[in-house]
Amino acid sequence: MELHAKVWKYGDDVDTDVIIPARHLNTSDPVELGKHCMEDLDANFIQKISAGDIIVAGKNFGCGSSREHAPIAIKAAGISCVVAKSFARIFYRNSINIGLPIIELGDAAAEINEGDVLSINLEKGLLKNETQQKQYQLEPFPPFIQEIMSAGGLIAYVKERVASNA
Amino acid sequence: MGMTMTEKILAAHAGLPSVKPGQLIKAKVDIVLGNDITAPVAIKEFNKIGVATVFHKDKIALVPDHFTPNKDIKSAEQALTMRQFAKTHQISHYYEIGRMGVEHVILPEQGVVGPGDVIIGADSHTCTYGALGAFSTGVGSTDMAAAMAIGETWFKVPETIRFELTGELQPLVSGKDVILYIIGMIGVDGALYQSMEYGGPGLANLTIDDRLVMSNMAIEAGAKNGIFEVDDVTIQYVEGRTERPYTVVGPDKDANYCKTIHIDLSTITLQVAFPHLPENTRSIEDVGIVPIDQVVIGSCTNGRISDFAASAEILKGRKVNPNVRVIMMPGSQAVYLEAMQKGYLEIFINAGAIVSTPTCGPCLGGHMGILAKGERALATTNRNFVGRMGHPESEVYLCSPVVAAASAILGRIAGPKEVI
């Protein structure tokens, strides 16, 4: 899968309360959640993004609550990938489980600016900053996580396993 | 090479002689937990898997605590989804209104979790049960769904930071101050992907409630879990309470820690975390003049009987400042009843506070005390992120019950010594 899109840049410790505030957690409808994505951090987020855009952030992205509604909201809003210096661990698991592509880029995340255009090839593990003409080799996911991802998320993976045991 | 507590418990549940940090394992789970926000998503995913029922009806806990008593029609529908699932699958640990409490208060209290367990919960504060010597961590709804179906989950074995405790807490200082102090020291990602393990001679001076608070906020340092060595204090609490046999697991003498941090409990003062991160801590004497509009005492962090005893001690015979709304939220029906029997509720009502039914309520900005633009709350809860308790331009400060109670009287953030 090749992604090619514009960057919206945020800082460190973006928490799940600003990604999707609790006042919207009385629904699990992705479309409804997507409408309120990031609204307490950036009130114009939904208006300004285009489908396929990429979020780039600092350290500890997705910290706080375990609400899976956070990656669901980001995915439903049309964001194709989140790139960060580091991710909070529950958000990391949740993103893999629901099939939201995430990339832990370390210190290099700071080199990317708002408005840059990135090309990302997840299979080849390549991230190219088209605007700055810089290329980054990504750390591959561990094989077990690749299995979950290639099955299409954790539920599909468990479903296959349950069916093969039956 | 020896193993840490977390490594040993994970190895035992993975059926492996040993595990090491970084290793990916599949482990059996003893309890899978969800609440009225996370379980509805999990139930939707569970139904896609194609199993007839859950892996074990006694090993799943469902607690409607976040938006309950139902705050609106949508919340009522989420609670209904969970109630119907619990009935269909005969879930024994479903806690209906009247028996329910805040999930992380009732599970230890009711003996659902115990030493040596592996527990996952679709709630980030599931790490609370580490206080009892269990491996316990928060996950998302999809993880919960998969574990409800097959009784196991995957983990990356975390590295462990050892906290070696010495000394004794000063009067009025509690576990809340210790954990805020630690988060202030290491930061909100100071233990990211790691385990926090507590032991040492100072352990004996921490009550089980102190430990529950400290494990509860391990996630606020980014940790996977916060786990305490099991001692007489633990055994006294769990004996006759846990419904399943428990296993006492201790770290090996030659366990490998990525870091050891020494904490002298006697040096810790009352702490306050300023907006908008729990790491923005200050000692009470460095707070300055910070007027407040609302005080919240309760939550999975500080909603236990000792918290209300400490608050009652301060509020007895005194009046809440007229500029402040004070909301007391006992964490369970048992805590509520005991607070009533001991006369605390009368003290709170006479002081001008309100007492709410157990609920997560305002802690996550759900209901029962939402802040308007520009308002400021002081809370014994666990997070002070932007908009956590209401309007994105409101503020939350975090502290222990004695600081919250004293501040309620004075109308600004203050230590108990200013009022007693």
Give per-residue pLDDT as tens, A29-79: 999 999 999 999 999 999 999 999 999 999 999 999 999 999 999 999 999
| pLDDT attached to residue B58 | 98
Buried b (16+ CB within 10 A) or exposed e, B270-295: bbbbbebbbbbbbbbeebeeeebbbb
Predicted local confidence at residue B375, as pLDDT: 98
ipTM: 0.96
Of B50, B122, B386, the CB nearest to A162: B50
Task: Test B78 with A63 for CB contact under 8 angstroms.
Answer: no
Q: What is the pLDDT along chain B (420 residues), one digit of tens a residue?
A: 899 999 999 999 999 999 999 999 999 999 999 999 999 999 999 999 999 999 999 999 999 999 999 999 999 999 999 999 999 999 999 999 999 999 999 999 999 999 999 999 999 999 999 999 999 999 999 999 999 999 999 999 999 999 999 999 999 999 999 999 999 999 999 999 999 999 999 999 999 999 999 999 999 999 999 999 999 999 999 999 999 999 999 999 999 999 999 999 999 999 999 999 999 999 999 999 999 999 999 999 999 999 999 999 999 999 999 999 999 999 999 999 999 999 999 999 999 999 999 999 999 999 999 999 999 999 999 999 999 999 999 999 999 999 999 999 999 999 999 998
User: Regarding beta strands A81-84 and A54-57, do their DSSP bridges make them parallel or antiparallel, or are they unpaired?
Assistant: parallel
Task: Write the DSSP string, B211-255.
Answer: HHHHHHGGGGGT-SEEEE---HHHHHHHTTT-SS--------TTB
Which 3-state string (H, E, C) describes A136-162? EECCCCCHHHHHHHHHCCHHHHHHHHH
- Report the CATH superfamily, name and number, of domain B5-265: Aconitase, domain 3 (3.30.499.10)
The rounded distance, in Å, linking the Cα atoms of B29 and B340 is 37
> What is the dotted CATH code of the domain comprising B271-418?
3.30.499.10
Phi, psi of B112 (to 5 degrees): -75, -25
Q: What is the pLDDT of residue A48?
A: 97
Calpha distance B347→B329 (Å, rounded): 14
pLDDT of residue B312: 98
Tell me what percent of chain B is helix, strand and coil, each rounded to the nearest 5.
35, 20, 45
Which chain A positions have a beta carbon within 8 Å of B148's beta carbon?
A: none
The C-alpha of B345 sits at a distance from chain A's nearest C-alpha, in angstroms, of 29
Provide the chain A residues 12-41 that lie in CB contact (below 8 A) with chain B.
Answer: 13, 15, 17-18, 21-23, 25-28, 40-41
Residue B166 bridge partners (DSSP): B264
Three-point CA angle B372, B373, B377, nearest 5°: 60
State the Cα–Cα distance between residues B17 and B23, nearest whole angstrom: 13
- Angle, vertex CA B72, rays to CA B68 and CA B77, nearest 5: 75
Instruction: State whether residue B23 is helix, strand or coil.
Output: coil
pLDDT on residue A142: 85
The two three-digit tokens of residue B36, written as one number: 């009225």
A chain contacts of residue B67, beta-carbon cutoff 8 Å: 25-26
Nearest to B45 among A67, A86, A155 (CB): A155
Alpha-carbon distance of A158 to B371, in angstroms, equals: 42
User: Residue A145: its pLDDT value, please?
Assistant: 87
> Are the CB atoms for B299 and B66 separated by under 8 Å?
no
Which pLDDT value is given to residue A122?
87
Rg (CA), chain B: 20
Cβ contacts of A103 within 8 Å, gap of 6 or more: A81, A82, A83, A84, A120, A127, A138
pLDDT(A166) > 80: no
Domain ranges of chain B: 5-265, 271-418
Q: Do A88 and B72 touch (CB under 8 A)?
A: no
Separation CA A153–CA A148 (nearest Å): 5
pLDDT tens-digit readout, B344-400? 999 999 999 999 999 999 999 999 999 999 999 999 999 999 999 999 999 999 999
CA–CA separation, B229 vs B303, rounded Å?
Answer: 23
CA distances from B84 to A110, B32, B58, B81, B88 (A): 48, 17, 16, 5, 6
- The per-residue pLDDT for A2 is 87
